Amino acid sequence: MSLFKRIFSKEKKETLDKGLEKTKSSFFSKLSKAVAGKTKVDDDVLDNLEEVLVSSDVGVETTLKVIERIEERVAKDKYLGTEELNSILREEIAGLLAETNVGNDTDFCIPANKKPYVIMVVGVNGVGKTTTIGKLAAQFTKTGKKVVLGAADTFRAAAIDQLQVWADRVGVPIVRQEMGSDPASVAYDTLKSGVAQDADVIIIDTAGRLHNKVNLMNELTKIKRVMQKVVADAPHDVLLVLDGSTGQNAFEQAKQFTKATEVTSLAVTKLDGTAKGGVVIGISDQFQIPVKYIGVGEGIDDLQVFNKIEFVDSFFK
Ligand SMILES: Nc1nc2c(ncn2[C@@H]2O[C@H](COP(=O)(O)OP(=O)(O)OP(=O)(O)O)[C@@H](O)[C@H]2O)c(=O)[nH]1
Ligand SMILES: [Mg+2]
């Protein structure tokens, strides 16, 4: 299929292949059980396949769409051998994801006409926000962009220090205040400082845990409003980080967050070391919001721009 002939960077592909190892070995062992003793894709096989997809965290709705597509193929082709199931799945999942016009990026890039480009990173605690910010800062710096970080997670002293460690590691400036200070004030200072330094990209870290959800959402709204005093159309990107290793929980978080506050893109982290990587397929099918980045390790280079073709290609290789 020509769709798969595009050439992606070899290192990126190797990192992705490795990051998806656990997901793939679990998926394919279930898949081979699902077709054991069967030569033809029949109703039994389709039932088993449905179970495999659901238990691989693809999500019920997306699974049903995939099964429907395969049923249509079975009806048309009359005979489909089970040995073809792998490539059929790959084609149908790729086809399904291709119906949305997102997830086609291949490089870390930002719109040329927005300077500074302000990214506000949100998500519940422990999902990988600060780590993702560090990795993003490294990637943007590599492409020659001037990056400034803002430590607006003032809830814990360790959170500020953790962002500082990343800033030092990447070699970018950070704006910080004391623990317990007003996050909106830190965000304001960061934008002021970023504009003064002629920054290309400003990334704002936020707290994942506050006393309750309403407080958290109010806090995020306030941060946005205050940032707009400096850069009228900020934030340009509200990036929701989701922990892929929590599978269906990540789905739920995405639903709740997008209902409560405006989110413009998603990052799914910790795909390495989990068998739940199928969740990315479901999330990119079901949310109107694009999955922009995926985290495939703890290292500085273990963040990738999500590309659905690459992802499906790596998954079914
Ligand atoms: N294996 C793996 N670990 C990751 C990835 N992304 C983040 N982590 C780890 O997940 C843990 C939590 O990451 P943080 O970046 O501190 O998460 P956070 O959302 O900022 O957490 P809070 O500040 O507590 O809200 C850390 O140990 C990270 O190293 C990833 O893609 N793969
Ligand atoms: Mg953090």
What spacing in Å lies between the alpha carbon of 149 and ligand 1's midpoint? 17
Closest residue by Cα to residue 253 from 163, 129, 117: 129
Domain boundaries, the chain: 10-99, 117-307
CB-CB contact of 309 with 6 (8 Å):
yes
**DSSP label of 78:** S
Question: Is the beta carbon of 270 within 6 A of some atom in ligand 1?
Answer: yes
Say whether 250 sits in a helix, a strand or coil: helix
Smallest CA separation from ligand 1 atom 5, residue: 270
Which one-letter amino acid corresponds to residue 240?
Answer: L
DSSP-derived secondary structure for 20-46: THHHHHHHHHHHHHHTTT-SB--HHHH
Which CATH number fits the domain 117-307, given the four candidates 3.40.120.10, 3.30.2130.10, 3.40.50.300, 3.90.650.10? 3.40.50.300
- Among all bound ligands, the one having the nearest atom to the CA of 132 is 1
Task: For Cα atoms 57, 63, 69, give the angle at the middle one, nearest 5 degrees.
Answer: 150
What pLDDT is recorded for position 102? 87
What pLDDT is recorded for position 3? 47
Cα gap 81→66, rounded to integer Å: 17
Task: For Cα atoms 181, 117, 298, give the angle at the middle one, nearest 5 degrees.
Answer: 70
Smallest CA separation from ligand 1 atom 14, residue: 128
User: For residue 39, what are the CA distances in angstroms to 28, 73, 81?
Assistant: 17, 16, 5
What pLDDT is recorded for position 7? 55
What pLDDT is recorded for position 211? 60
**DSSP label of 246:** G
Q: Which helix (H) or strand (E) holds 144?
A: none
Which one-letter amino acid corresponds to residue 60?
Answer: V
Cα gap 141→169, rounded to integer Å: 12
Cα gap 169→162, rounded to integer Å: 11
Closest-lying ligand 1 atom to the alpha carbon of residue 297: 32
Say whether 50 sits in a helix, a strand or coil: helix
User: For residue 215, what are the CA distances in angstroms to 141, 155, 210, 220?
Assistant: 34, 13, 6, 9
Kindly list the averaged pLDDT for each block of 10 residues, start to end, along the chain of length 317: 56 93 95 93 95 95 96 90 92 92 89 95 95 98 97 94 98 96 97 98 90 82 97 97 95 90 95 94 92 96 95 91
Tell me which CATH homologous superfamily contains domain 10-99. Answer: SRP54, nucleotide-binding domain (1.20.120.140)
Closest-lying ligand 1 atom to the alpha carbon of residue 126: 21
Cα gap 3→94, rounded to integer Å: 9
Neighbouring residues of 64: CB distance < 8 A, sequence distance ≥ 6: 50
Smallest CA separation from ligand 1 atom 21, residue: 126
What pLDDT is recorded for position 213? 77
Q: Which residue has the tokens 């994942």?
A: 208
What pLDDT is recorded for position 243? 97
Give all strands of the β-sheet with 237-243 in edge-to-edge order: 174-175, 147-152, 201-206, 117-122, 237-243, 265-269, 291-295, 303-305
CA count, 13 A, side-chain hemisphere, 279: 25
